[in-house]
Amino acid sequence: MQTQSVSREIQPLADVASLALEEARRQGASECEADASLGRGLSVSVRLREVDTLEYQRDRGLAVTVYFGKRKGSASTADLSTSAVRETVDKACAIARYTAEDPYAGLVEPEALAREIPDLDLDHPWDVTPERAIELARECEAAGLAVDPRLANSEGAAVNSQRQTGVYGNSLGFLAGYSATSHSVSCTLIAEAGEDMQRDYWFTVARDPADLEAVAGVGRAAGERALARLGARRLTTRKVPVAFNPDMSRGLFRHFIGAISGTSQYRKSSFLLNSAGEQIFPAFLEMLERPHIPKGLASSPFDQEGAATRDRELVRNGVLGGYVLGSYSARRLGLKTTGNAGGVHNLLVRSQEGALDPKAFLGRLGTGLLVTELMGHGVNGVTGDYSRGASGFWVEQGAIAYPVHEITIAGNLKPMYRHIVALGDDVDVRGGILTGSLLLDEMTVAGE
């Protein structure tokens, strides 16, 4: 039996999950799993120095899944009392008895379960009072507004602190849980010059509040970014090199992960169908999954099914090494789970040729478009067709010339991935996909 020394917060949830598993077995389930969770949080926002919102969050829940052979039933509740847990299991069992059989249904294979639960240093509660959170938000916004008189308006600054505790258990003897925190500060400001109004934002996020950027720095960055967009122009339609800043690059790689997920593969709804072992990216690009980075925003000792998370080379020399699988999608494809039920864990995107510093990166771009914001949802996951509204900066001879807006960039993701020519060293660590800027040799830019 896989267990874990549990904290004061985890033990009650472990008891709830154990009760659910015991009740499911008593009702005749051949397999069962339970996920109990408790979340707490504080969110504060201010706008033009006045408090806009102040919210406390406290959520708890239990999700139960039972199997009668290959019949599956699920139920959930926000009431963790003994009677509610028993009733929830009863409902799940009643559903399972009447559902159709699914030959791929069932728990993860026993050999895939996590045998050791490493401490990834994910739990750093922030003892911030509402009064202090309001003070920090005001300081953040004020620092931004003070950058320039043209910053006369604001969409606000926010401070958030969240702590989530979860326990997962199943009838294979697995029972483990941990707590994780996430804290953030953000600010969005509006710059005005005559009738020209432009907005932009900045934010910082971390597991540990000590790792957050200074709130005044967040405000100043938001103000400087908004000012830089004043005087934005439209472009005429053309084909040019296009670069994406790190935040936008993350989105491009997120589409890649969606395309190689087990669900997209077995449903045949992917533009990268049956692409394992194929050259997807240029040979210099690699993607490494590192689930056990201390304090990592996507770190996890096990996935949503209790399967162990492990280091993995997802892409090597531009070649896709395999798919992103949970146990169900793996069975549908005749494969084994990769410990990715729920998604990837800290995907590092790297260049084996070496990433470029910002000056060298713009020099490699030469004359073209630097995208800093994308709008709309014009991405077709089946065909890979890509068309998004965009704004950013026009670059000439390796230097930013002027801001641009109201344009559309278009292409197809499959050739776009192959035509990546450089990565920047400005890696953004504020998410589960850690990448710098990326440069494509050419895209269509539609404007006037």
DSSP structure string for 167-196: EEEETTSBEEEEEEEEEEEEEEEEEEETTE
The DSSP H or E segment spanning 443 is strand 438-446
* Domain shared by 188 and 272, yes or no: no
SS3 283: coil
Please tell me whether residues 307 and 269 are part of one structural domain: yes
- Asked if 103 and 70 touch (Cβ cutoff 8 Å), the reply is yes
Domain boundary among 197, 228, 259: 228
Q: pLDDT value at position 448? A: 81
User: Is 402 found in the same domain as 310?
Assistant: yes
User: Is residue 3 in some structural domain?
Assistant: no
| Residues 74 and 188 grouped into a single domain | yes
Same domain assignment for residues 380 and 415: yes
Total structural domains in the chain?
2
Residue 29: give its domain's CATH number. Answer: 3.30.2290.10
DSSP, collapsed to helix, strand or coil, labels residue 358 as helix
| Residue 51: inside a domain | yes
Q: Is 174 helix (H, G, I), strand (E, B) or coil?
A: strand
* Three-class DSSP category at 7: coil
* Same domain, yes or no: 352 and 328: yes
Whole-number Å distance between alpha carbons of 295 and 45: 25
Residues 127, 196 within the same domain: yes
Classify residue 271 as exposed, middle or buried by CB count within 10 Å of its CB (0-12, 13-18, 19+).
Answer: buried
Q: Within this chain, do residues 157 and 96 fall inside the same structural domain, yes or no?
A: yes
pLDDT at 377: 86
| Last-in-domain residue among 228, 251, 269 | 228
* Alpha-carbon gap, residue 424 to 440, rounded angstroms: 12
Low-confidence ranges of the chain (pLDDT < 70): 1-7
pLDDT at 350: 97
Joined together, the tokens standing for residue 164 give 């989530």
Give the single-character DSSP code of 194.
T
Domain membership of residue 147 as a residue range = 10-228
The closest of 40, 47, 37 to 12, measured between CA atoms, is 37
pLDDT at 5: 39
The single residue listed with the structure tokens 């339609």 is: 237
Give 355's DSSP letter: P
200 lies in the same domain as 279:
no
**E-only strand ranges, 194-346:** 196-206, 238-244, 285-289, 312-316, 319-320
Nearest-CA neighbor of 384 among 265, 276, 287, 259? 259
Q: What is the pLDDT of residue 312?
A: 97
Q: Which two tokens stand for residue 123?
A: 């739990």
**How many Å apart are CA 358 and CA 190, to the nearest integer?**
26
DSSP 261: B
**Cα dihedral sign for 124, 52, 186, 223?**
negative
Tokens of 232: 């934005």
Query: Among the three residues 228, 252, 286, which one is the final residue of a domain in this structure?
Result: 228
pLDDT of 403: 98
Give the model confidence (pLDDT) of 127-148 as tens digits: 999 999 999 999 999 999 999 9
Same domain, 72 and 30: yes
Which pLDDT value is given to residue 7? Answer: 64
